[in-house]
Copies of this chain bind each other. A is one copy, B any other.
């Protein structure tokens, strides 16, 4: 179970979304061919990914949508709420704070931090913006498990160090810089240019 690769986990997230859509559309069963087609993969790849986690579906019958959705939800750790700190209260931080997709999957922002004295002391919703030097104490009190870095690139490594020193073991990095963290800390980087590259690939080919 531990051995699933990052890309397998990303595909599980994609399957989860397809199953949510199927459920919303009132489909009870989905064949692996159908699931694969919607994810842009071969049926063999879908079966292999799912087989890492158990035995799902019946040969010739397909997957029970509600059951598989629930299983993947559990595997992805989405069957519980996660307490998240947002570091960086600039434009990106503000956009992420109001992004509906996080709360929907169980990620709740419970603390906000910034280095800028002009922002510290304000509140977004019910949550006060705290100075970064209070990260350790506040993260402990609010039981933060994941921190989102939405700071300028120059500040990001120092922020990551403070997050790890504060005992938080999961980091989502939006800054365009590769960060280094100790073993036992999970870090994921969001690279917003990657999706643009798949557009330029398609458009360049069209000519």
A interface vs B, CB < 8 Å?
1-2, 4-7, 9-10, 12-14, 16-17, 21, 40-41, 75-78, 80, 82, 84, 90-92, 94-96, 98-102, 104-107, 145-146, 153, 169-172, 176, 178, 186, 188-206
How many identical subunits does the complex contain?
2
Give the distance in Å from the alpha carbon of A78 to the alpha carbon of B107 in the complex.
35
Cβ distance A164 to chain B, nearest Cβ, rounded Å: 14
Is there contact, CB below 8 Å, between B192 and A190?
Answer: yes
With contact pairs A95-B91, A102-B192, A191-B101 given, residues A76 and B197 touching in the complex (Cβ less than 8 Å): yes
Of chain B, the residue at the smallest CB distance from A6 is: B40
Give the distance in Å from the alpha carbon of A197 to the alpha carbon of B6 in the complex.
11
Cβ distance A41 to chain B, nearest Cβ, rounded Å: 7
With contact pairs A21-B178, A40-B7, A102-B193 given, residues A201 and B91 touching in the complex (Cβ less than 8 Å): no
Among A40, A192, A199, A206, the one with the most B-chain Cβ atoms within 10 Å of its Cβ is A199
Is there contact, CB below 8 Å, between B172 and A196?
Answer: yes
Give the distance in Å from the alpha carbon of A146 to the alpha carbon of B95 in the complex.
22
Cβ distance A16 to chain B, nearest Cβ, rounded Å: 8
Give the distance in Å from the alpha carbon of A80 to the alpha carbon of B172 in the complex.
31
Is there contact, CB below 8 Å, between B195 and A172?
Answer: yes
Of chain B, the residue at the smallest CB distance from A150 is: B95
Is there contact, CB below 8 Å, between B192 and A96?
Answer: yes
Is there contact, CB below 8 Å, between A101 and B193?
Answer: yes
Give the distance in Å from the alpha carbon of A37 to the alpha carbon of B195 in the complex.
22
B residues less than 8 Å from A75 (CB atoms):
201
B residues less than 8 Å from A153 (CB atoms):
100
Is there contact, CB below 8 Å, between A199 and B186?
Answer: yes
